[in-house]
Structure 1
Amino acid sequence: MTTDHTPKLVGTAWGLLVLNTLGSAGAKTIVPLPRSLIQMVTMGALAVAFTLALAVNLRPRVRPSAYLFLLTLLLVPSVISSADPESGFGALFRCARLALFVATLWLLSRWWDGGTTFVRHHIRMYFAVLGSVAAGLAISPGAALPDLYGGRLVGALWPLTPPQIGQYAAVIIGLTVLLLLGRRTDRRSAAVVVVPSLVLLALTHTRTATVGLLVGLALAIGSLVLTSAAARRFFTWTVLCAAVAAVVLGSALQAWFLRGQSQENFTSLTGRAKVWDALLAAPRTTSEHLLGAGLGDKSFGGLPIDNSWLAVYHEQGMAGVVLVAAFVVVLGGVALLRPPSLSRACAIFLISYCAIASYTEAGLGDASPYLLHLAVAASLLAAPAPATPLPEPDVPRRRVPRWAQRSEAI
């Protein structure tokens, strides 16, 4: 890992990007917050993040990034489809937000050096978000575990849904475990993050986050097994504990996983499949097929799409699907080609988690936590910046006598 010379304002800007992607729709909070106020806070956070990034990178210097280049290209179908008057003013506003979001990432890419700096920023900010969730649970358990969501944990201070909380918990658990295996943090610090996050993840009953965490960690630790004794020990003990838990707690784990749903509801992915079928069956013009219907709220017929690929197809067309697939494949390919390291393992975890979550969650085509997760992966896979050579001291040249010059010539 390279020496950290990242300005503190970079971490602040990253935290504001996280705040911007928290969203404004969710559960009812203890103190009712008008949606307009929440949107003002989140959009203000993005504007301040861009300003801070520009302030610390006033003469813009950026790192080459295929991920950011493809993400910038995604703006083209987004703007073209959103410019249609039928898309409404909201679509153009979302395009402007995505453009500012991508511009901020470009400015921060100057400090992408293959180290774990942005991993730590990511963990700290999302741990603070989970802290607000835990505080809401302590203040008002009824509001934090409402019947409307089937008793699943929601944000009682800030409107966060169970899938959001599960996602944040799973991501920081996985990254913290990898930092511990790479000896970049101690056990006490790791326990402070992992233990409460596991409790919150369990209370959300979020299957996608749980599967993403387990599969992502398995792939990430598997990439370290040949070079890390700690990774081999952790992998072995995890497999043994999982086997014991499957035998002893099999019925309880199955009940937690099913969440009391019927077989039909479970196989239709809580009704998602019906929305997907309707979206694919809807008639589309050639323009809508290629470029989409413009950026929206990731819904179809008033119901959430809950699939990144279908949401991108609906809003940015096949052009958007190709670009999103391209940056996911490029990041995955680069990660596989890198030699084993902690940075590579963290990147593999984040990429695999986002790939798994994309099946039941939307977000890969617009400003979202998933794009931030992949941005962290891109920062981990960036080549270290070349060291700037120190200027040679100006030493006066020693005058050589004429007789010595003649002898050297001979």
Structure 2
Amino acid sequence: MVWGLLILNTLGSAGAVTIIPLPRSLIQLVTMGALVAAFALALALNLPLRIRASAFLFLLTMLLVPSVVSSAHLESGFGALFRCTRLALFVSTLWLLSRWWDGGLTFVRHHIRMYFAVLGSVAAGLLISPGAAMPELYGGRLVGALWPLTPPQIGQYAAVIIGLAVLLVLGRRTDRASAAVVIVPSLVLLALTHTRTATLGLLIGLALAIGSLVLTSAAARRFFTWAVLIAAVAAVGFASLLQEWFLRGQSQENLTSLTGRAKVWDALLAAPRATGEQLFGVGLGDKSFGGLPIDNSWLAVYHEQGLTGVTLVAAVFLVLGGVALLRPPSLSRACAIFLISYCAIASYTEAGLGDASPYLLHLALAASLLVTPTAPAPATALPKPAVPRRRVPRWAQRSEVP
């Protein structure tokens, strides 16, 4: 329940027009209420306040420092302090959940189930009102018609659970029928979103994750071989269709500028900044610059939390990636590699690494998978009860007479 409430909190409140108009204030009340409920429930479950030391959570806690320092100037308004409070509650809830991080796949299953439920609402909106689910405003791409979700969000959720489900099948932790129930609909929704970043993140992340299992898993070797063959056939036989899907009807110039993102990035980097703003940013905001979305995690962190925030986020990837490389091959390690690589790829065209977001949840899941399992305490041998010696009568004792 706590994990599901955290996912609900990170769904956001801005997106497409829904079938039943939902006021943004109501959506924000639901998402923020979900975070408060998650924290309260995690605290109730962990009243002894037992936590596991984690470099990942320590770095996220340190990220609060530039966030609070920059937001205290109120350059981004009182909303910056509200977002700092949200980030603090989010990180605190993860600290409370760290008690149950044991390197197992329990949280992976929670992750798949919760996001599959979110995608279920997207599919329901598509069936109820196809026009609202694929509006012209987004170029006919799939959006959330029941809850305001954008195509990149839906693509991200679909890609992540597809990758995790494939890895569970290869590790024989689930059967193929159960995995197909998750993978096939998610692939359809991913294709309808036309999200290039999510598709590339899924393919590259799976390649790296399966590559880490090739030496120890025959199933991974077979899957990798078949995947390469299918990709080669698709590249030759369906090249025109793949190119048309990838371009989404855009011109070459628009594609080169990353759908206009590069112009915002250049303007952000060229803007004059004081020394304090360079070090700590301007405070947590809505990840926009000049009224346009930044759509780059590194530049968004630089804008809102300065070079200090960029350093801490980079340290998160270095720590998680370094630990993943040092761990012996395992299914948990492969899932962590997939999540880390996906977030690293998506950070180029998506924002969210410096604030409470699905990307921080993905990285938190990766951190839980890389935890060294605690060895069970050795059983203490109980002393054997003393057995009273039985006195043997003198007449029954063995004679030593030859």
Identify the TM-score tier after normalising by the shorter chain: over 0.9
Q: Tell me which moved more, 310-319 or 387-396.
A: 387-396
TM score, norm. by length of structure 2 = 0.95
**Deviations 1:213-240 (Å, cap 9, x if unpaired)?**
0000000000000100000000000000
2:81 & 2:384 partners in 1: Cα distance? 61
**Deviations 1:104-134 (Å, cap 9, x if unpaired)?**
0000011110111110000000000000000
- SS of alignment partner, residue 75 of structure 2: helix
RMSD: 1.2
Displacement of 1:191 after TM fit?
A: 0.2
For 1:306, the equivalent position in structure 2 comes to 295
2:74 & 2:360 partners in 1: Cα distance? 28
**Deviations 1:309-368 (Å, cap 9, x if unpaired)?**
000000000000000000111100100111110000000000000000000000000000
- SS of alignment partner, residue 85 of structure 1: coil
2:374 & 2:82 partners in 1: Cα distance? 36
Residue 355 in structure 1 maps to residue 344 in structure 2 = yes
For 2:166, the aligned partner's letter is V
2:332 & 2:387 partners in 1: Cα distance? 49
For 1:182, the equivalent position in structure 2 comes to 171
For 1:387, the aligned partner's letter is P
For 1:99, the equivalent position in structure 2 comes to 88
For 2:81, the aligned partner's letter is L
For 1:136, the equivalent position in structure 2 comes to 125
For 1:72, the equivalent position in structure 2 comes to 61
For 1:224, the equivalent position in structure 2 comes to 213
Displacement of 1:390 after TM fit?
A: 4.5
Residue 322 in structure 1 maps to residue 299 in structure 2 = no
1:29 & 1:247 partners in 2: Cα distance? 40
1:223 & 1:87 partners in 2: Cα distance? 44
For 1:164, the equivalent position in structure 2 comes to 153
1:398 & 1:50 partners in 2: Cα distance? 56
For 2:104, the aligned partner's letter is G
Displacement of 1:395 after TM fit?
A: 5.7
For 1:195, the aligned partner's letter is V
Match of 1:212 among 201, 206, 217: 201
1:234 & 1:86 partners in 2: Cα distance? 52
- SS of alignment partner, residue 17 of structure 2: coil
> Which protein shows a greater Rg?
2
Displacement of 1:64 after TM fit?
A: 1.2
For 1:23, the equivalent position in structure 2 comes to 12
For 1:4, the equivalent position in structure 2 comes to none
**Deviations 1:129-156 (Å, cap 9, x if unpaired)?**
0000000000000000000000000000
1:328 & 1:97 partners in 2: Cα distance? 22
**Deviations 1:238-293 (Å, cap 9, x if unpaired)?**
00001111111100000000000011100000000000000000010000000000
CA contact (8 A) 2:74 2:283 kept: no
Match of 1:369 among 330, 337, 358: 358
Match of 2:370 among 368, 381, 388: 381
- SS of alignment partner, residue 215 of structure 2: coil
Runs of 4+, deviation exceeding 6 Å? none
**Deviations 1:78-127 (Å, cap 9, x if unpaired)?**
00000003231100000000000000000001111011111000000000
Match of 1:253 among 229, 242, 248: 242
For 2:399, the equivalent position in structure 1 comes to none
Displacement of 1:388 after TM fit?
A: 3.4
1:150 & 1:360 partners in 2: Cα distance? 18
Displacement of 1:386 after TM fit?
A: 2.7
Displacement of 1:200 after TM fit?
A: 0.1
For 2:73, the aligned partner's letter is D
1:58 & 1:388 partners in 2: Cα distance? 23
Displacement of 1:377 after TM fit?
A: 0.3
For 2:187, the equivalent position in structure 1 comes to 198
2:300 & 2:248 partners in 1: Cα distance? 26
1:303 & 1:109 partners in 2: Cα distance? 37
- SS of alignment partner, residue 318 of structure 1: helix
CA contact (8 A) 2:14 2:24 kept: yes
Q: What residue ranges of structure 1 are gaps of 5+ in the alignment? A: 1-11, 402-410
For 1:57, the equivalent position in structure 2 comes to 46
1:151 & 1:186 partners in 2: Cα distance? 35
Residue 83 in structure 1 maps to residue 101 in structure 2 = no
Match of 1:113 among 92, 99, 102: 102
TM score, norm. by length of structure 1 = 0.93
Total equivalences in the alignment: 390
For 2:285, the equivalent position in structure 1 comes to 296
Match of 2:25 among 30, 36, 57: 36
Rate the CA distance shift 1:400–1:89 in 2: closer, same or farther, 3 A: farther
Rate the CA distance shift 1:399–1:281 in 2: closer, same or farther, 3 A: farther
Residue 339 in structure 1 maps to residue 328 in structure 2 = yes
- SS of alignment partner, residue 43 of structure 2: helix
**Deviations 1:348-401 (Å, cap 9, x if unpaired)?**
000000000000000000000000000000000001023134565576555789
For 2:137, the equivalent position in structure 1 comes to 148
- SS of alignment partner, residue 188 of structure 1: helix
